[in-house]
Every structure is written in C-alpha cells, then in structure tokens.
Structure 1
Amino acid sequence: MKVRGERECQSCGTRWSYYETGSVACPSCGDLRSVGVDARTAHTDTPVALDLAAHRERFGDAPGTLPQSGVDELQSDLREYCRKRGFIDGGRLASLDATYLAARELLEAVDCFERLRDPTDADREYLLALLAGADDGERPPTDEVPTALREARGMAAVRAAEAYRSDALDVLDELDFLDEPEAGDEPEAGDEPEAGDEQGGTEHLDAAGNDGSPTVTVDGDDPGSRVAPARDAFERLRDRVARADALGGDVPPATADALVEAADALGEYVRTGDEAKLEAANGLLDDAIADDLGPAGR
C-alpha cells in the first residue's frame, strides 16, 4: 500500500509519523481525522515488538513437554506478530530481519514439536532455545537443529523468503514505473495534499502513479537497470522455495538458511545495485539446487 506517512491532526494540530506508530489516530488526542503532509510512499511494515517473556516463564517450568494451556496463546502471538510485519518501511526495502525469521521458526517449531510422538531432550532444549532468543532475533546455529525439528527450520525459510520476495517485487514494480515517467508526472514545487486526504485512514495511489511522486527510495545510480536481473533472480528463488515447500520444509538446515541468505542478498541488490550481492545470491541458489533440492536449469 501507499501512504502519506507524516500526519497532522485536524483537531489539535499534532504532527506524527504513521511509520512510527502504525496508526492514523492522533497520539495526543486520539482523533482519527488527519491530513497527510508529505508524498505518498510504499509501506508494508507495522511497528510492533515481539515480547515472549510471559511465554518463557510458563514454558520454562514445564516438565518434559509444553504446557498445553499455553501453546495456543504462544502461536497466536507469533502469528499476529508475523502478520503485522512487512519489509517496506517508508518507501525503503528493509533487510529480512532476524526477529521476524526467529518468530517464524518458533511458530513452525511449536507445531512440529506438538506432532512428535516421543520428543527427546534435545528437541525440547532446541525449542526452548528458540523461545529464549526469538524476540532478540537469536536462533540456535544450523548444526544444532535436531533432525525431528528441521522441518521447522525449512518451513520458516519458505514462509520468510516468500514474504520477502513479495515485498521486493512490489519495490521492483515501482522502480520499473519510475524508470519510464510519463509527461506531466513530475510534481510541481509546493504541491498541496490532494482533496479528500483529510479522511482518517490510509491513502492509496493507483498503478498509474497519478501524483507523480516516487513511492520507493533506493541507493545508487540507474536503479531501473537492476529491475530485470533482480526479477530473474527472485524467480529462481521462487522455484527453490517452492521445492522446499513441496518437501514440507524437510531439507537440510544449511539449505534452508541459504534460501534466506539469498533472499536477503537480493534485497541488498535492489536497495543498492551492488552486483556482488546479486552474484552471491545466485551462487547460494545454485548450491541449494545442486546439493539438496534436485536438478534444475538456470
């Protein structure tokens, strides 16, 4: 979606950033009537914290297995966090951050653990290690993933890489549009917010970009030149992710991590145009196919 991130309350005049609060309600008086005072930008992320302290206290005292009464609540909190997260923040493509990834794996690991007939101490210890570090973006290293829970690592990579790919492709769509501006697209100096912008809510910009303002921001020269190579690489990533998904995430943890690293490297290429990041991503995808996901043409 596209929003005017800088808001001004029509009731009390307070200005705030939607990107920081994730709400159109005025932080001073609570009024929903506000006007956007800057250009529209692409934005998918919501400022939300992951706090698992209460779950750690409950689960840490559980002997042998997870406390049934707390599993649903933990899964609900993790789903809500992942649902609110995105990777375009005020027009800039962010990295595939560690906290989101850890939350994804913990969500998958809880489900996987619950399906085990006879979980081992190593399985439980790994799950509790995920719970201990997820809200700080910390996960146990690849070589500590128990065989019984490697599906969780794999499916976390599948979900995270696909969500990231979707946002990155939206950024590429915007770059492609901006690379071929139509006559009259450039905004006039001193343009005022459009009529109707005062309604409390999120404003949308149609595909034609009718106000002429850029909705995404990247670094480097000639961003349009990176659109086609990035799309090709993301298509290769989609293929690898689909293969891992078809296997239910049951791939070696190193392969799962490589898919995430490839997605993140491609995001860096989109942001900066750094060719080394594109090469690194393609190398990771080549290795994933050769080692664990079966043959495929490039």
Structure 2
Amino acid sequence: MGTGAPEDSPAPVGFVGLGNMGAPIARRLLSWPGGLVVCDVRPEAAEPFVAEGATAAATPAEVARTARLVSVTVLDDAQVRDVVDGPDGILRTAAPGTVVAVHSTISDSTAVELAEVCAAVGVHLVDAPVSGGAPGAEKGELAVMVGGPREVYEACKPVFALWAAMPVHAGEVGSGTQMKLARNLLHFISFTATAEASRLAEAAGVDIAKLGRVVRHTDAITGGAGAVMLRETTAPIAEDDFWHGVFTHVRGLGEKDLSLALALGERLDVDLPLGRIALRDLGAGFGVGPGEIARRATAAGADVDRGSDDHSNDSDDDEGAR
C-alpha cells in the first residue's frame, strides 16, 4: 500500500496540480528517494520540476503508471472527479494498493463517493485537505487533515511529513474535509468580524492599520480564536469541572467588553450584528450559559441582540486573558 518507507526502496510519488498551493508542496517532494512524477494542464508548470530531477507526465493516468501515492491539488469537485475517474484519470492505470490523496477542498460527499469508486478496483482514496495557505506550503508547515482508514493514513505519513508540520488523522473518508470546513468556517467568520471591528474603529477615528498591528501582535501571543478550543465536547460544563471556572472568567470579560463595544457602536451609529450575536451566545458557546450582563439585558426586556449599555462586570478585568 502506498509508497513504502524512505529506507525501503520506496516507489515514486505523484503530484497532479502545480498551482499556487500544489507547486510548493510538490517542490518539497523532490527529495523523496523514490522519485517524483508531476502533471499539470499547463506543461510549462512542470518544467522547473523536471529541471530538478522529476519526471513529467501528460495525464493523471500516466502519473499512476508508476506512482503508488498520487496527491491531487486542483480547483474543485469537478476537476477532482476528472483527475481521479475521468477518461485520462488515475483509475485508468492505477495498480491495486495505490493511494490517491485529495488535497483540494471539496464536498465530503464527493470524497466518500470517489473513495467507493476507487475501492471497487482496489485503490484507496483519502480526503486530505490542507490548512496554512501558500505561506505554510512554502515553509513546509501546513496542517493536513486526513480522512481514511488508519493504516492508509500511516502509509501516507512518511510522504506527508516532507511538507506538513501537522498531519492529523481526522477519521474515516470525508472526515478530513469536514474538519477543514469547520476550520474554514471559523476563518471566514473571523474575517467578517474583523470587518465589523474595523468599521467601529474607523467611525471612532482610530487608525485601523495600527489596530491591525495590535491584533496580529496579540493574537500571536494569545493564540487568537483557537485559544479557546480546548475541550473535546461542546456540551454544558459541570460546575465542578476545571474548565467551568476558566470559561466563566473569560465569559465575564467577554460580556463586559462586548457590552462596551456595542454601546460605543450605538453612540457612533455603527451596526455591529456579530457583536450582538456574540453577547447573546458567548456563554452558551463556552458551555457555562449567559453571564450577568447578558441575563440582566434579557431581564430588563431588552433584546440581547441589541447589546447592553450596562458596563458592569462580574469578574476582574484581566488584560492577559485576551
């Protein structure tokens, strides 16, 4: 199965798709002792790899004639389907035991469907989307989230280790994509929240470029939004649980600061819908329920979505927690 370990006269690896993400990943595979076979719809994209010792293939089927692990980094579901099972696809030539690793972000159902098609001819398909962007690919520091049987994941790890600093076995086929989609949900909601914060700062006359520098600096210290992803469940937390005290404290800080920000937005006539949702849902999201500020706003007959002008707090201010 797969390429074998580097010390065991390994088989070649293949790479289909040499774009902004694929090319830097494939470049790190030039050191694979079994050799590298590359393919792209643009023949010129393969030329730098050939100059470094790789073999160019005209089609994915040609890649799979020799490679026993074929990575796929193309645009979307349709292209992945074509690369895997099209007229010139991997399955036209792949030997039983070959592993197809799809690094494109596609639908989890597409991954499951293609894995079943591959399994019918003895080929393994794993969905293995990546996170870290082009900078992470250039540095070899990507995370790769792999959905597939554990033994297939283990067979891929020696190759993935050349370009991924964090390989993770997410579960069965489809799980890698599901993990990536959840990760990117956080990513792009955070971008939307960034725009909301920028509107508030700009309306207040704050230099938003300087604000951005502060955010990047402090997120590098605190871990940003991911710093609160510490538990294995989203269920409510029992009062005698260690995390109850931690998240109750953070909830108090958050509700106070959100309330202050919403009050500022009202004074400046800046709509902060994500801020209103955060005040409403922060405590429940942490598993400890709403805090005093959110409860008081509700008890007063105000829609929590409209924020609160009450700036009191049921815990001490702690800048280090942010």
TM-score by length of 2: 0.27
Q: Which has the higher contact order (CA 8 A, sep 6+)?
A: 1
Relative to total residues, which structure has the larger strand share, 1 or 2?
2
Higher Rg:
2
